[in-house]
């Protein structure tokens, strides 16, 4: 059951799709809501799940999280805000279980037993918001109910479940061709190569650098003929440059965000000085979304939307402040430590500065509103703009689309990646933990930069990361310019990498089937063990996941391991992969086991009396033979197998068969 509470006159977020009547009296809210703060009692047996891909563990207890979309590329343990803001959680303890969605795009802080160990406090920085209170028999029911409230999640083309290679720093056609050739030469599966900002002319959206890509359209086609897609990036900031059509049109039509004087707001991102399209305005959304046509007409079938928190590297205000600080101290004698810090901070605090966000204004179809009231809707609406218009441009064929920043509601238009992580072992674990909260909030086509974006990825880290990413719908190896090259062929044991990617392709019939069933039935593809098993150990496990209804995984996320302790909440069948195939199958009893997996091996566990489809090796999604599949797991059982043509927007469920 869903109850809706309203305070004041909230801004329309379009996060939900169901029309729920407002209840005047919701018992629980009467008790816990005071002055825009909700306070719940918690204890060591409380579990708070959700909040999208926020930092830290699956159970959010013990830390604070702030919903405020932030471009922060250093995801250390102490960070409270990452790129997204997703305000749905479930609280479960010995007495109760319920879900709550706070539908408001302002800053919201969740202090989950951190400041006070027995209090979970939520502070909403607004007098205008909706709160949905969701009940059900158990967490899965609550999530399902919530997901029906927010509408069906995005469905990518099936080829987007293949392996993708990306890197900031593939400068030209030759670099991209090298990647393609190396994957082919080494016989490693590949479906996508991503184009980062380097393909554009001076980082201008919807342009191609013709020196670097002299015949872009022909090149796109040539690669596409090999069933590999080029997926370009689109950034939120539009370069200020006379004669550049996107800039000129945006200014003329008044489609950019404004400053306090009503002039287009000026910030700086990759292209230098930019204006930001006002994605909160429906006409601006339509206008910008139609711009994707430029690339679609060149044969492009997918995009990734970036820098849409929006990220602001600096503004004139920040620069001025910095210089005036330097001036202030220039002639001062005895500069003290605090002075130095003060001066240093004027440099360090320049990007994504609150003062800059404070001075942005949006035109919400007639109503002028300060950015802070809608901050968390910006990235969502950039991707909505793309999603809605791309659908008009390509009404039949699905397109790939994912974003960095997000808010609930965006899940209907695209997937997300979890932003600029690091080549740190702890970020394999973080990625594992982020997946379940994202699924709860409707984000299904998800993944992290495989191998880590910043920093250098060693061979064993890449191997272990790849083993986990075998199960993420978005499986994209991406890294930053200047870091160690981490394409799979850059390492010594290329055969081992090939073999893992082979397993991904063999599992796509299962991954796609489970993905689609989860989307169509408002269920989760990634689940914590505690959503299915309620024994004392399962509820505390933070590093094992359920994938669909049949598989449990226990990824390795530490260096120098040859296995790990795995907890089986019930009898399961161990399937161990090596050399692109199964090397061991064994039924294991419920309980703890040390499962040996050398660097080039990995294991999955099939839940009792279940089986999964397992295809033949393919090097590209188009090569997968969906008709001739075998099964792994228990015998004398059935599997509900979903498949469709993988490409049309119209979804037919008639392909669900029990085999």
Query: For ligand GLC, which residue of 38, 48, 188, 197 counts as binding (CB under 6 A)?
Result: 197
CA proximity to 156, closest of 381, 531, 573, 445:
445
Binding mask 199-238 for ligand GLC (x = CB under 6 A): ----------------------------------x-----
Strand pairing report for 97-103 and 88-92? antiparallel
User: Which residue's CB is nearer to ligand GLC, number 205 or number 502?
Assistant: 205
Closer residue to ligand GLC, CB minimum distance, 233 or 386:
233
Q: What phi, psi does 454 have (nearest 5°)?
A: -90, 160
Q: Rounded to the nearest 10 degrees, what angle do helices 459-469 and 494-520 cross at?
A: 30
Least distance between ligand GLC and beta carbon 164 (Å): 13
- Tell me the DSSP string of 322-360: HHHHHHHHHT-SS--HHHHHHHHHHHHTTTT-HHHHHT-
In the bound state with ligand GLC, the residue whose beta carbon lies nearer, of 46 and 448, is 448
Is there a contact between 388 and 409 (Cβ–Cβ < 8 Å)? no
Q: For residue 389, state whether it binds ligand GLC (rule: CB under 6 A).
A: no
Distance in Å, CB of 546 to ligand GLC, minimum: 29
Provide the minimum distance between the beta carbon of 172 and ligand GLC in the complex, in angstroms, as a whole number.
16
Least Å distance, CB 307 to ligand GLC, is: 6
Which 8-state DSSP code applies to residue 264? B
- Residue where the block lists tokens 């007098």: 127
Q: What pairs with residue 261 in β-bridges?
A: none
112-151 footprint of ligand GLC as x/- string (CB under 6 A): ----------------------------------------
- In angstroms, what is the minimal distance from the CB of 168 to ligand GLC? 4
236 vs 518 by CB, closer to ligand GLC: 236
Cβ nearer to ligand GLC, comparing 62 with 73: 73
Run of H or E including 439 = helix 425-440
- Residues 168, 407, 602, 614: which binds ligand GLC (CB under 6 A)? 168
Site for ligand GLC in 392-451 (CB under 6 A): 404, 419-420
Other CB atoms within 10 A of residue 260 CB:
11
CB 537 within 8 Å of CB 567? yes
d(CA 324, CA 153): 49
CB of 229 to ligand GLC, least distance (A): 18
Residue 481 or 640 having the CB closest to ligand GLC: 481
Closest approach of ligand GLC to the CB of residue 293, in Å: 22
Give the burial class of 503: count Cβ atoms within 10 A of its Cβ; 0-12 exposed, 13-18 middle, 19 or more buried: buried
Closest approach of Cβ 452 to ligand GLC, in Å? 11
- Do 606 and 570 touch, CB atoms closer than 8 A? no
How many whole angstroms separate alpha carbon 600 and alpha carbon 579?
8
Cβ–Cβ < 8 Å for 620, 189: yes
Site for ligand GLC in 277-306 (CB under 6 A): 306
* 586 vs 572: CA distance, rounded Å: 8
| Spatial separation of the C-alpha atoms in residues 205 and 208, rounded to whole Å | 9
Distance CA 401, CA 156 (A): 7
What residue number has its CB nearest to ligand GLC?
168
Considering CB under 6 A, how many residues would be counted as binding ligand GLC?
9
- Closest approach, Cβ 120 to ligand GLC, in A, equals 31
Cβ(98)–Cβ(55) below 8 Å = no
Q: Residue 236 CB, nearest distance to ligand GLC (Å)?
A: 11
Nearer to ligand GLC, 113 or 379 (CB): 379
Nearer to ligand GLC, 72 or 502 (CB): 72
Minimum CB distance to ligand GLC, residue 106 (Å): 24
Residue 194: CB minimum distance to ligand GLC, A: 9
Q: Which is nearer to ligand GLC, 18 or 74 (CB)?
A: 74
Between CA 508 and CA 503 the distance in angstroms is 9
Full 3-state SS string of 84-111:
EECCEEEEECCCCEEEEEEECCCCEEEE
Nearer to ligand GLC, 168 or 614 (CB): 168
Q: Which is nearer to ligand GLC, 54 or 403 (CB)?
A: 403
Q: According to DSSP H, which parts of 492-626 are helical?
A: 494-520
Among 103, 145, 191, 196, binds ligand GLC (CB under 6 A): 196
Give me the residues paired with residue 584 across strands: 576
Listed residue (156, 129, 67) closest to 443, CA to CA: 156
Binding mask 478-517 for ligand GLC (x = CB under 6 A): x---------------------------------------
Contact indicator for 401, 415 with CB cutoff of 8 Å: yes
Q: How far is the CB of 355 from ligand GLC (least distance, A)?
A: 22
Of 38 and 438, the one with the shorter C-beta distance to ligand GLC is 438
| Ordered strands of the 63-67 beta sheet | 33-34, 37-41, 119-124, 108-112, 63-67
Least Å from the CB of residue 198 to ligand GLC: 8
> By C-beta, is 171 or 655 nearer to ligand GLC?
171
Are 409 and 13 in contact by the 8 Å Cβ rule? The answer is yes
| Partners of 319 in beta bridges | none
Residue 543 C-beta: closest distance to ligand GLC, Å = 26
Considering beta carbons, is residue 75 or 404 the nearer one to ligand GLC? 404
581-640: contacts with ligand GLC (CB under 6 A) = none
Binding site for ligand GLC (CB under 6 A): 168, 196-197, 233, 306, 404, 419-420, 478
């Amino acid at each position: 059951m869903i109850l809706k509470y309203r305070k004041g006159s909230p801004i329309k977020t379009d996060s939900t799709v169901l029309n729920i009547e407002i209840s005047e009296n919701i018992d629980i809210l009467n008790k816990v809501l005071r002055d825009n703060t909700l306070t719940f009692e918690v204890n060591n047996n409380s579990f708070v799940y959700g909040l999208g891909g926020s930092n830290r563990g699956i159970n959010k207890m013990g830390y604070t999280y702030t919903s405020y979309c932030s471009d922060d590329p250093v995801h250390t343990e102490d960070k409270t805000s990452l790129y997204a803001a997703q305000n749905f959680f479930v609280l479960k303890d010995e007495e109760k279980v319920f879900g709550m969605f706070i539908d408001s795009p302002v800053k919201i802080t969740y202090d989950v037993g951190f400041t006070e160990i027995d209090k979970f406090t939520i502070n909403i920085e607004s007098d205008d918001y909706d709160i949905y209170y969701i009940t059900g028999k158990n967490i899965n029911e609550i999530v399902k109910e919530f997901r029906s409230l927010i509408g069906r999640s995005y469905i990518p083309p099936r080829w987007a479940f293949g392996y993708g290679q990306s890197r900031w720093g593939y400068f030209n056609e030759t670099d991209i061709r090298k990647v393609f050739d190396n994957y082919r030469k080494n016989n490693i599966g590949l479906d996508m190569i991503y184009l980062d900002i380097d393909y554009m002319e001076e980082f201008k959206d919807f342009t191609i650098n013709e020196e670097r890509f002299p015949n872009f359209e022909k090149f796109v086609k040539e690669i596409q003929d090999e069933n590999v897609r080029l997926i370009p990036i689109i950034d939120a900031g539009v370069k200020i440059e006379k004669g550049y059509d996107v800039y000129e049109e945006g200014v003329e039509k008044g489609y950019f965000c404004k400053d306090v004087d009503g002039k287009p707001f000026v910030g700086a991102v990759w292209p230098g000085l930019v204006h930001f399209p006002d994605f909160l305005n429906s006409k601006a959304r339509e206008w910008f979304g139609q711009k994707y046509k430029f690339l679609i007409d060149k044969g492009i079938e997918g995009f990734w939307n970036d820098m849409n928190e929006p990220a602001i590297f600096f503004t004139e205000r920040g620069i001025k402040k910095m210089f005036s600080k330097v001036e202030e101290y220039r002639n001062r004698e005895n500069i003290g430590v605090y002075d130095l810090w003060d001066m240093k901070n004027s440099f360090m605090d320049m990007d994504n500065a609150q003062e800059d966000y404070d001075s942005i204004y949006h035109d919400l179809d007639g109503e002028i509103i300060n950015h802070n009231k809608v901050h968390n809707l910006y990235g969502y609406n950039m991707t909505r703009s793309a999603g809605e218009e791309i659908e008009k441009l390509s009404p039949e064929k699905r397109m790939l689309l994912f974003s960095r920043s997000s808010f609930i509601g965006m899940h209907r238009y695209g997937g997300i990646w979890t932003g600029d992580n690091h080549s740190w072992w702890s970020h394999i674990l973080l990625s594992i933990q982020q997946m379940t909260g994202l699924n709860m909030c409707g984000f299904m086509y998800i993944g992290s930069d495989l191998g880590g974006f910043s920093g250098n990825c060693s061979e064993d880290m890449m191997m272990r990361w790849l083993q986990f990413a075998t199960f993420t719908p978005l499986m994209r190896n991406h890294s930053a310019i200047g870091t160690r090259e981490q394409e799979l062929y850059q390492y010594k044991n290329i055969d081992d990498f090939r073999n893992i990617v082979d397993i991904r392709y063999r599992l796509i019939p299962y991954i796609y089937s489970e993905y689609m069933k989860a989307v169509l039935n408002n269920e989760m593809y990634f689940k914590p063990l505690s959503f299915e098993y309620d024994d004392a150990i399962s509820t505390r496990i933070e590093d094992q996941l359920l994938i669909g209804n049949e598989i449990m995984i226990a990824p390795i996320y530490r260096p120098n391991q040859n296995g790990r302790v795995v907890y089986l909440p019930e009898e399961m069948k161990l399937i161990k992969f090596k050399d692109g195939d199964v090397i061991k199958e064994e039924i294991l009893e419920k309980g703890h086991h040390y499962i040996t997996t050398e660097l080039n091996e990995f294991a999955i566990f099939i839940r009792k009396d279940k089986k999964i489809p397992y295809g033949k090796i393919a090097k590209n999604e188009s090569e997968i033979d969906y008709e001739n599949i075998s099964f792994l797991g228990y015998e004398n059982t059935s599997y509900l197998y979903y498949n469709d043509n993988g490409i049309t927007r119209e979804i037919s469920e008639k392909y669900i068969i029990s085999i």
